[in-house]
Chain A
Amino acid sequence: MTLDEFVSLSAALTGYPAVTLKPQNDTQQIAATLFAELSLASNNIPAAQLNELTQVWNSISATPPPGLPAAVQEKIIENLAITRLAQNIIYLWFFGTWYDLTKNPNSFTSPNIDHVVSPLAYTNGLVWGEMGAHPMGYSVGEYGYWANIPTLPQIN
């Protein structure tokens, strides 16, 4: 899988535009950091699984947008051979953490977390924006932002 394939697949899995996940002027290199997880030996990703996910994605990536979510659902999410890996990619983007592939994918408790990818990956997790919140102890809001009414992003 290439970085471009990873980003386009991630866009389909998370619902975020590819340019948001990997901006043209990419200051924090989050996409590259997360992508590196797929080739990290200690993550023990079966090569066959990664190859199949790549092939499946390439076979549906040109699907026009109205039909793309259904194609992703059918070919990836409901494909038991690769759905777990796809799920982990979603976790990567939302939580900046790598979950142990061999453990229960539906439990978010800490024993299932193998490692936090990096401090930047964690603080840039998509979950914070979706919650209208920020990681504990870190915020780019201006002083006094906590007195303002929280706002949630528009979810398409």
Chain B
Amino acid sequence: MRKINTIALLIAFAAVIVYLGSASCGNGPGGNKTNVAHADSGQVKTPLSPVLPFDVTLPPKGTGVLETTIRRSFDVFSWDSFIAMCWPAQGHGVIGQFGDNATVWETWKKNYEVFLANGLPPAPWDTGLQSKEANLSQTGKTPANMTFIFQPFMTGPLIDQNGQYNRFEIAMNKEMFDYIDTHKLYNIQGQQAFTDSVLFPQGDNTKKTYGAIMVKASWKVLGKGDDTSRFHKVKAIIHIPALASRGIRDSSYEAWVGLVGLHIGTRTTISPQWIWSTFEQVDNAPDLGKAVNGKHYNYYNVAAGDKALNKAPAQPWNPGIPGQVPSQVARLTPIDTGTQALNDSIHKILVAINPHSVWQYYELIGTQWPVHPTQSNTGDPFPVYMANATLETYDQGSVVNGKIVYSPGVTSSCIGCHNASVTWAGRPSDFTYLLKSAQSLKK
């Protein structure tokens, strides 16, 4: 029996490699330059690819089973996207070959580069693929200037075991940037003058075109207890906003931060409600009730108990307030077993490239997509609920008498929440809240 299981695992592993290899070859090396990292001639051989997928590749119609083959197709899309987006931006080997690497997505436009405080047009797209120093000022999932949006979720800051606030940032690819730039959606006046429906480009396997991609990243300030060899790291400028009532002045400092969460939203022909992929660093939090004694979690203290589990910290919220209590976080919905099997397969490939690759410490939490995209506005998302422990920490559901309770419209659902997004003209903004970051044009 044991032998059979081993063989089955090996076959599954080989199938993943073959699939990833063929998917990469199918897209070809000559894709959109801005979405593709440069490749060295001396790089190691790997089935992983620096080329982003255009859209998901589904099993033939009628043969796909939602919970297995179709989910696997979307999960493979997520991993293909993650690998391509985290590929070395500056052409040094393959992903993780030389340890950590500056990534492709970090060269994309950040939201604060597109939606300027004076509402002026953003600078042209930088095609240089130069890694930029991150400027991390957001202390919540949404930028401070977006707090006026109706948010059905009780978002709050996430505080790590060292008492440090998580930082978040948003980036977009060239297709998304170009759409915003071309239609002058980068300021309030431009959005009000735009009378068409906002519809971002969609990736298409047949036309071989890329769709809009947006990324939301979650970072922790690296410090005591953190094994820095397990994180993708950047040096960032950490901003602390003023809080007059506590005598806190506006200030900034420089620190190393580690990537702990990554949302990827991709608009495609098959999934016009976007495909929502979410990844986490593996040390973030245990599954509910399954904490391992002695293990260091980024957001869980084994000795602290579960009294304040997944509860937002007390207000006021400001990272400059000393002595704040760390968040106590557990994952309520475990990673799907099929998704976990794919994670294990990819990790093996990453380790084969480099046993010290930081990317082996990232795992796909899940992929949400619209199963019946034309049936309703939200397209019947699956899985119904999905949360990243570092980005929807407090919206994972509730634990009532030891049982997890999910609530429609309250528990985190990417498509369900983003369906409510609008422009400054009060029209649907195609599942992104980004456009609400726009400011008024100040001449």
B309 within 8 A of A: no
Residues of A within 8 A of B380 (CB): 27-28
For the complex, give the distance between the alpha carbons of A123 and B384 in Å: 13
Further pairs besides A25-B372, A28-B384, A140-B419: 7, Cβ < 8 Å? A27-B383, A140-B376, A140-B416, A143-B428, A144-B422, A144-B426, A144-B428
B409 within 8 A of A: yes
A65 within 8 A of B: no
Is the Cβ of B381 less than 8 Å from the Cβ of A27?
yes
For the complex, give the distance between the alpha carbons of A142 and B420 in Å: 6
Counting contact residues on chain B (CB < 8 A from A), the size range is 20 to 34
Residues of B within 8 A of A144 (CB): 422, 426-428
For the complex, give the distance between the alpha carbons of A123 and B312 in Å: 27
Is the Cβ of A142 less than 8 Å from the Cβ of B382?
no
B13 within 8 A of A: no
Residues of A within 8 A of B378 (CB): 140
Q: What is the count of residue pairs linking A and B with beta-carbon distances less than 8 angstroms?
A: 50
Is the Cβ of B384 less than 8 Å from the Cβ of A143?
no
Is the Cβ of A137 less than 8 Å from the Cβ of B426?
no
Is the Cβ of A142 less than 8 Å from the Cβ of B408?
no
Residues of A within 8 A of B66 (CB): 24-27
Measured CB to CB, the nearest residue on chain B to A143 is B422
Measured CB to CB, the nearest residue on chain B to A29 is B384
B22 within 8 A of A: no
A70 within 8 A of B: no
Over the window 404-417 of chain B, the binary record of Cβ atoms lying under 8 Å from chain A Cβ atoms (1 yes, 0 no) is 01111100000010
CB distance from A154 to the nearest CB of B (A): 15
Is the Cβ of A27 less than 8 Å from the Cβ of B371?
yes
For the complex, give the distance between the alpha carbons of A140 and B66 in Å: 22
A120 within 8 A of B: yes
Is the Cβ of A119 less than 8 Å from the Cβ of B384?
no
Residues of B within 8 A of A138 (CB): 408-409
Which of A120, A141, A143, A145 contacts B406 (CB under 8 A)?
A120
For the complex, give the distance between the alpha carbons of A27 and B378 in Å: 13
Spell out B's residues near A (CB within 8 Å): 64, 66, 70, 371-372, 376-378, 380-384, 405-409, 416, 419-422, 426-428
Residues of chain A from 109 to 156 with CB closer than 8 A to chain B in the complex: 119-120, 123, 137-138, 140-145
Residues of B within 8 A of A145 (CB): 377
For the complex, give the distance between the alpha carbons of A16 and B285 in Å: 44
Measured CB to CB, the nearest residue on chain B to A23 is B372
Q: A140-B377, A140-B419, A144-B427 are in contact. Are A123 and B408 (CB under 8 A)?
A: yes
Q: List 24 A-B contacts (CB under 8 A).
A: A25-B66, A25-B372, A27-B384, A28-B380, A119-B408, A120-B408, A123-B408, A123-B409, A137-B409, A138-B408, A140-B376, A140-B378, A140-B416, A141-B377, A142-B377, A143-B420, A143-B421, A143-B422, A143-B426, A143-B428, A144-B422, A144-B427, A144-B428, A145-B377
CB distance from A147 to the nearest CB of B (A): 10
Is the Cβ of A120 less than 8 Å from the Cβ of B427?
no
CB distance from B63 to the nearest CB of A (A): 11
Residues of chain A from 1 to 32 with CB closer than 8 A to chain B in the complex: 23-28
Residues of A within 8 A of B405 (CB): 119
Which of A119, A137, A143, A144 has most chain B Cβ within 10 Å? A143
Measured CB to CB, the nearest residue on chain B to A26 is B66
CB distance from A26 to the nearest CB of B (A): 7
For the complex, give the distance between the alpha carbons of A53 and B41 in Å: 72
Is the Cβ of B416 less than 8 Å from the Cβ of A25?
no
For the complex, give the distance between the alpha carbons of A76 and B377 in Å: 37
CB distance from B412 to the nearest CB of A (A): 14
Which of A23, A26, A140, A141 has most chain B Cβ within 10 Å? A140
Closest 5 CB pairs of A and B: A25-B66, A27-B382, A138-B409, A140-B378, A142-B428
CB distance from A115 to the nearest CB of B (A): 13
Is the Cβ of B419 less than 8 Å from the Cβ of A142?
yes
Residues of A within 8 A of B426 (CB): 143-144
Which of B377, B382, B384, B428 contacts A25 (CB under 8 A)?
B382
Measured CB to CB, the nearest residue on chain B to A122 is B408
Residues of B within 8 A of A25 (CB): 64, 66, 70, 371-372, 382
Residues of A within 8 A of B420 (CB): 143
Residues of A within 8 A of B422 (CB): 143-144
Residues of A within 8 A of B377 (CB): 140-142, 145
Is the Cβ of B407 less than 8 Å from the Cβ of A119?
yes
For the complex, give the distance between the alpha carbons of A142 and B427 in Å: 9
Residues of B within 8 A of A141 (CB): 377
CB distance from B370 to the nearest CB of A (A): 9
